[in-house]
Copies of this chain bind each other. A is one copy, B any other.
Amino acid sequence: MVPQLRYGNKNLYVVALAGGVGGAKMAHGFAKALERSQIPAENLTVTVNIGDDFEHLGLTICPDLDTVCYTLAGIENPKTGWGRANESWKAMEAVERLGGPTWFRLGDRDVGLHLERTHRLRLGESLSQVTRDFCHLLGISSQVLPVSDDRVPTRVYTSLGELSFQEYFVYYHCAPKVTGFSFEGVENAMPAPGVIEALDTADLVVICPSNPWVSIDPILAVPGILQAVKQKRVVAVSPIIGGQTVKGPAAKMFTELGIQPSPLAVTRHYAGLLQGFILDQADHLLSSQIKELGMDTLVTNTLMNSPEDRVQLAMQVLDFAANLQNH
């Protein structure tokens, strides 16, 4: 029996599973939606993918975590989908002049965060503890948690051989054809402190419109997460609109893996997990097929072009989740 949920209930507790840009925007929408409903900000936990994390120039870089934090703090770069707004590039210019690697662009303010985080990790602090402190200092009241304090780097199997995620994503611009993924060491990874507790407390788990293969799967693959999620009311927002992704290679990955990219493919990917699914009006014809898989659907505008779009979508998702018929 899943818990009862009423949107507007001051005790409503939401866990959002998120990757980078789409997840960050959705998470920001939830934070604002709770604020408008006078629900405490702490009642939102954003559990974030760490599969993209890597070491570069000696810095520990956590792209999804940073995109989520920058977005929740309102200091994200709205154009790139990564990094900070009003960024400068002087450190990178110096690295370039000295013959260093420049394929992964790091803004100066961003470098500052990486320096301080890397420094603290080396001193023995955990990623979740450092993230908690950073969020506090950045004025973020929602809880942001890396899914694990262990390293679980995503490996991408491609036509060019096995690549690290950032090699695939940034260095090769997602060009190589993918044949599969693995999350290195995930079998021994532990959920970060607070992750399972948040899921246990949650009335609702929302799978954000993030890449199912390389943003959400690495979260669900951490031992204990899937089991905890399955106890809950779970809805997902489609990252595929009209056969394409707003950003990132999810649609391309589905195609290369022999699956036609569509909201239907997404629901099948999350088979057995969802009680509700939110898809874009561009895909309204698929709604009945998805319902046949045993879940409710909400057809709406899922494009989050403006901050207000995020809040509107978040409020609709919460309202939809509160009124699911299949329970």
Contacts and interface: CB of A to CB of B under 8 A. Distances in A.
A258 interface: no
A60 to B, nearest CB: 9
A225 interface: no
B115 A111 contact: yes
Given A99-B133, A137-B98, A90 B118 contact: no
B91 A122 contact: no
Contacts of A116: 57, 94-95, 98-100
A93 B109 contact: yes
Interface string A75-117: 0000000000001101111110111100000011111110111
Interface residues of A, number: 32
A124 to B, nearest CB: 13
A322 interface: no
A205 to B, nearest CB: 30
A122 B97 CA distance: 20
A174 interface: no
A76 to B, nearest CB: 14
Given A97-B137, A138-B97, A88 B113 contact: no
A59 interface: yes
Contact of A94 (B93, B97, B111, B118): B111
Contacts of A100: 112, 115-116, 119
11 contacts: A91-B111, A91-B115, A94-B113, A94-B116, A95-B116, A98-B112, A98-B113, A98-B116, A99-B133, A100-B112, A100-B116
Interface of A: 57-59, 87-88, 90-95, 97-100, 107-113, 115-119, 122, 133-134, 137-138
Given A98-B117, A98-B137, 6 more contacts: A58-B58, A58-B119, A87-B90, A91-B91, A98-B133, A100-B119
